[in-house]
A and B are shown apart, each in its own frame.
Chain A
Amino acid sequence: MKSKTAKPRAATKPRPPAKLWQLRLYVMDQTAKSQMAFANLKKICELHLKGRYRITVIDLLKQPQLAKGDQILATPTVVRKLPSPMRTVIGTLSDTERVLVGLDLRPAA
């Protein structure tokens, strides 16, 4: 399940591709927490970043060596790789407000 990628939806709005959000979700195994985090992240992205995001899920159980690169300590962790700067939110992402603050995701104007 390395790249469970949500397909970018119809690029109706003329937004430059640079605005594409790259998110990485680090999880540990397919636990309830992992699944909850993925569901929450997807929900938020659908709401605020429709068509402009890509989520890469990384299972540290299978790829432990990847934890070092993004300084992962906690799981689950969402890392916003793009746009820079990098931002990190840890937890099951159940607190949507905090996720929005953490990812610097203001509601689309």
Chain B
Amino acid sequence: MKTNGRKSAPMAVQLPKCPTGIQGLDEITGGGLPRGRPTLVCGGAGCGKTLLAAEFLVRGVTQFDEPGVLMAFEETEKELTANVASLGFDLAGLVRRKKIVVDYVHIERSEVQESGEYDLEGLFVRLGHAIDSIGAKRVVLDTLEVLFASLPNEAILRSELRRLFRWLKEKGVTAVITAERGRESLTRHGLEEYVSDCVILLDHRVNDQIATRHLRVVKYRGALHGTNEFPFLIGDEGISVLPITSLSLNHQVSTERIPTGVARLDAMLGGKGFFRGSSILLTGTPGTGKTIVSANFAQAAAKRGERVLFFSFEESPDQITRNMHSIGLRLEPLVKRGLLRFHSARPSLYGLEMHLATMFKEISTFKPHVVIIDPITSLMDCGTDSENKGMITRLIDYLKAGQITSLFTSLTQGGHALQQSEAAMSSLMDSWLLLQDFEGNGERNRVLYVLKARGMAHSNQIREFLISDRGIDLVDAYIGPSGVLTGSARAAQGALEKAALLAAQQEAAQLKREVERKRAAIERQINGLRADYEIEAEELRRIAEQVGTSTRMLTTERTASGILRQADTKAVVRPHSPSRNGKVNS
């Protein structure tokens, strides 16, 4: 898977190449078919040999201005014109404009009798005449081997064919010769013996009821080329070969961030949402809301005026719009304004390659800013693991080259093993959101994780994912000693915590009141004591006054009586226990 013609080291002398214009083929062959030499295209019935050859001619005219001759041995000009018209090629018009000559060579064995020696000069003359009449640079001989059935003398035929190819080389035309694939050799009649410059093998295989076409460059003399089998498909714009290895990992990146449409999810993604042009994987078990997240993202983008292309492989557009009504998302106005386009198809409608081609075509015509693929897993039922990986790689590569943000939903069947099985796909993704169910308490609750988000600081926490008629919301899940609680358990736990808080608050208030009361009591006591003290102090003051008065009075009296008794004044002045006396007297 590593070889690629484009990576070829610069050679001293590069073979001149003749670009085919066929999407992808020139990349594999490193520029096209060998110029001026015949190329053999072989393959079984119905694998697209004639179409490849016809496209080589038509694109030669339309893209490289190289007229061509188509010598058809199997189909008439009319049939060919009709056949390639389905690829959008106007063969008849090119014939009219003298850019292409179609020569139908028909020879019926039953009508021809052989007698004696002959050569195929007639064929040479016709071919030469056709080439010269328009100056053709390209020649297609569509199933030359029919001659083996028409002409009985194989010895002559073989020597003439050898001469033919030599003649073609001398003419300097780039020729494509188609041939039926043989059982053991590349072609039924061993044409590879004569055409040895370039051999391309086409193959149409059925794997698990899904048919896929493959192209392989078996041989390319003198040039490096991709040697792998490359899937190719025939779409309504011709053949496109899809080289898996064209993923060169050099696309430009944007630092612009785009919101997801859910504010809390943006917050989880570093506060701003996804990077523009990044690829996002959204995995989840059935019923976890993948489509809802996608639709939400789509709506958010369309409301910003961006174009959104929604590939749905499970539901019809009407069904999605109806279902999104239930969560309050109105998508029809966006569809009407041409901002949102749905593309619904059953995954089993056609093979993986065809799906891819259809998607490429839709994307290139609608030029969306955001592409949603819901779900990528049902598409992956179409192919084998390696095909799927190749397809997703190419798809992401294509989208990233166009800076288109892509959201892929992926359905997992639950359990953790599947998370690993998707690791292969997830390595291609820039962001990975996981939606999960949490079971317990008789209910299922949705949770969302951001498993990875390249280039941004994202939340590592689980969020409960709520879907209501107003859309989606993310709430913190309860994470406590008893684990992660969601839904009613989370609500119950919340209530429980609220009650506990209330009780604690009440207790604190109670305590506060108690303290207050105590403080008041002490205050009261202090006041009482102070009052007592003041009463006593007052008493004391009064008594002191009384004592003073009575002492004075006594002194006066004694003086008076002393005067009366003419006693010595000095002896009388000394008072005896004035307070007791005073108290008694009062």
Residues of A within 8 A of B (CB): 26, 28, 33, 36-37, 40, 60-61, 64-65, 67-68, 71-77, 85-96, 98-99, 101-103
Contact = CB atoms under 8 A, between A and B. Distances in A.
B122 A95 contact: no
B104 to A, nearest CB: 8
A99 B129 CA distance: 29
Contacts of B106: 71
Contacts of A93: 115-116
B118 A90 contact: yes
A75 B118 contact: yes
A74 B105 CA distance: 12
Contact of B118 (A60, A64, A77, A99): A77
B121 interface: yes
Contacts of A94: 115-117
Contacts of B119: 28, 33, 74-75
A90 B121 contact: no
B118 A76 contact: yes
Contact of A28 (B114, B117, B121, B150): B121
Q: Which of B112, B121, B151 has the most CB of A within 10 A?
A: B121
Contacts of B116: 36-37, 40, 91-95
Given A60-B122, A74-B120, A89-B114, 4 more contacts: A73-B147, A75-B121, A90-B112, A95-B116
B126 interface: yes
Contacts, number: 103
Contacts of B118: 33, 74-77, 90-92
B267 interface: no
A64 B115 contact: no
Contacts of A67: 122, 125-126, 129
Nearest to B113: A102
Which 3 A/B pairs are nearest by Cβ-Cβ distance? A102-B113, A92-B116, A91-B116
Nearest to A37: B116
B128 interface: yes
Contacts of A75: 118-122, 125
B193 interface: no
B113 A64 contact: no
Contacts of A92: 115-118
Contact of A98 (B115, B120, B121, B128): B115
A68 to B, nearest CB: 6
